Amino acid sequence: DPTSPLLEVTDMVVSYGRIRALHGISLTVRRGELVTLLGANGAGKSTTMRALSGLLPLSAGRIVFDGRDITHVKAHERVALGIVQAPEGRGVFPGMTVQENLDMGCYARTFASKAEYAQRLDWVIELFPRLGERRTQVGGTLSGGEQQMLAIGRALMARPRLLMLDEPSMGLAPKVIAQIFRIITEINAQGTTILLVEQNAQQALRRTDRAYILETGEITRSGTGAELLADPAVKHAYLGVG
């Protein structure tokens, strides 16, 4: 059903031993959307990502992807379904070249033909020309911004149906952050559905269709990017004004 949400999370509870990190969160990502999960340190953003990727089990609740209940589907099978996470920039393989890192992205979702692979690679290099210039450089010697680009590029090589980005602005200079956000918007505009996890409220809310605010394991607010940017409580807590 093309009108059904691509991702539907209902009352998701995740715990670390006896410590509950997510207290029953619900969120929806529709096909083609760019949705942001915004939260401060320790709010549970990474926990949400890991649970959606299948790296952490749920204590309660369910995850439906493309109409199918995947709550108990294993991590590698979720990748095969098209749920692909770009880890934070540090997640690139430091000893592998840019090209080898990109090829690692194809590992879980192999291409039907060489032409299809080449076409995808060209697209990724077009989005990130810097990666094209540095194909033979090892990942570990790239700048922070370049490593972030490589992490996203690698995820794109897996042809995500849902691309999950974990704090792509982390540790980067404002100019580089702006550039990364422009590219994220471009990837979305070209048809990839994106779930973005961020602390950078200003940039994320300006670019997103909708956002959810996560506070100590609970979703406390949601709305369009514009609505949340105008919300006094959000301004006060996340934009440092009011």
Q: For residue 205, which phi and psi values (nearest 5 degrees)? A: -70, -30
Q: What is the dihedral of CA 236, 237, 240, 242, to 10 degrees?
A: 10
Q: Tell me the site size for ligand ATP, rule CB under 6 A.
A: 12
Applying CB under 6 A, the span of 14-22, 98-106, 120-128, 144-152 interacting with ligand ATP comes to 14-22
Binding mask 88-117 for ligand ATP (x = CB under 6 A): ------------------------------
Residue type, 85: Q
- Taking the C-alpha atoms of residue 208 and residue 200, their distance in angstroms, rounded to an integer, is 12
Give, as ranges, the residues between 184 and 213 that touch ligand ATP (CB under 6 A).
199
Regarding 169 and contact with ligand ATP (CB under 6 A), the answer is no
Applying CB under 6 A, the span of 16-24, 97-105, 182-190, 232-240 interacting with ligand ATP comes to 16-24
Regarding 43 and contact with ligand ATP (CB under 6 A), the answer is yes
The binder of ligand ATP chosen from 1, 16, 190, 240 (CB under 6 A)? 16
- Tokens (6 digits) for 36: 């942001």
Regarding 18 and contact with ligand ATP (CB under 6 A), the answer is no
Regarding 83 and contact with ligand ATP (CB under 6 A), the answer is no
Residue 23's alpha-carbon distances to 4, 108, 197, 225, in angstroms, are 25, 31, 18, 24
Burial class (CB in 10 A: 0-12, 13-18, 19+), 83: buried
CB 39 within 8 A of CB 238: no
Burial class (CB in 10 A: 0-12, 13-18, 19+), 72: exposed
- Taking the C-alpha atoms of residue 23 and residue 208, their distance in angstroms, rounded to an integer, is 25
Regarding 240 and contact with ligand ATP (CB under 6 A), the answer is no
CB 145 within 8 A of CB 174: no
Applying CB under 6 A, the span of 15-23, 69-77, 113-121, 154-162 interacting with ligand ATP comes to 15-23
Shortest distance, position 17 Cβ to ligand ATP, whole Å = 7
Shortest distance, position 43 Cβ to ligand ATP, whole Å = 4
Binding mask 22-41 for ligand ATP (x = CB under 6 A): -----------------x-x
Binding mask 50-79 for ligand ATP (x = CB under 6 A): ------------------------------
Shortest distance, position 37 Cβ to ligand ATP, whole Å = 9
Strand 210-215 with 34-39, pairing: parallel
Smaller CB separation from ligand ATP, 16 or 175: 16
The residue written with tokens 């890991």 in the block is 50
Q: By the criterion CB under 6 A, which residues form the site for ligand ATP?
A: 16, 19, 21, 39, 41-47, 199
